[in-house]
Amino acid sequence: MNRRLETLLTFLQAAASLEAFQTATERARDHYNVRHVVYHWVNAEGERFGAGTYPGTWVDRYVERGYLRMDPVIFGCLQRFTPVDWKQLDWSSKAARAMWRDARAHGLGNQGYTIPVRGPAGQFALFTLNTDENDDAWETFIDTNARDLMILSHEFNKKALEFGPSGENATPPSLSPRELAAMRCLARGLSRAQAAMELEISEHTLRVYIESARHKLGALNTTHAVARALSTGVIIV
């Protein structure tokens, strides 16, 4: 294990907030020089938690289109205990091919590698790297880094459990006044255009506040962020 990876692990292990956990995914992305790094999990009660570098537009699109019900990566990982190289999965169905084209259009790369992690009380997590690379280079990358990625995935999961519903760090995150205002507008059912108008900011600036709040809340998409903000008492409507 090289010194840069040790530094990343030290940062992850010391993370005391969801925001720092999010930053750890960004540091992992930069460390491995890939396009995206994502960690997310769900437990037996359906509580979800996530952090990563996928564009918010893609995460929202994924949920809106119901891709979870047919995602070859999800099904591939549910059936395995070992890491999954995306190109080895079955993408032959029309729905899967359409999802793949949509993912590419929203900024995902052509290669993916996902490590399934199973934890206590039915917890199931996925740690994913995604990038653009040719097959030979990607295979070499995986062969070189597989062991360290397995260690990293379990360290992400260990830290994530601290932020779960009963974890030792399960305290509401601190949002800035603008982030709180943006979340309240969405919780009231306003569209992004309406929220931006009410807050007298551009829609681009609103998106920045929403994405920042989403990361701090450990939410998988905007709807999930609003739900977590309401359920944890971060906002009251």
- May I ask the CATH class of domain 3-162? alpha beta
pLDDT digits 0-9 by tens, 181-210: 998 998 888 988 999 999 999 999 998 899
- Give Dmax (Cα) for the chain: 53
Using alpha carbons, select from 5, 2, 9 the residue that is nearest to residue 154.
Answer: 9
Which comes out higher in pLDDT, residue 121 or 144?
A: 144
In degrees and rounded to multiples of 5, residue 209 shows phi and psi of: -65, -40
pLDDT band at 169 (very low <50, low <70, confident <90, very high): low
Of residues 165 and 20, the one with the higher pLDDT is: 20
Q: Which residue has the tokens 């570098």?
A: 53
Q: Minimal CA–CA distance to 53: which of 114, 126, 129? A: 129
Residues of the chain with CATH 3.30.450.80: 3-162
Phi, psi dihedrals of residue 169, rounded to the nearest 5° = -105, 20
Instruction: Tell me whether residue 79 is exposed, middle or buried, using C-beta atoms within 10 angstroms of its C-beta: 0 to 12, 13 to 18, 19 or more.
Output: exposed
Where does CATH 1.10.10.10 sit in the chain?
A: 177-231
CA distances from 96 to 65, 70, 73 (A): 12, 7, 10
pLDDT value, residue 171? 60
Residue 56: pLDDT above 90?
Answer: no
In this structure, which topology does domain 177-231 adopt according to CATH?
Answer: Arc Repressor Mutant, subunit A (1.10.10)
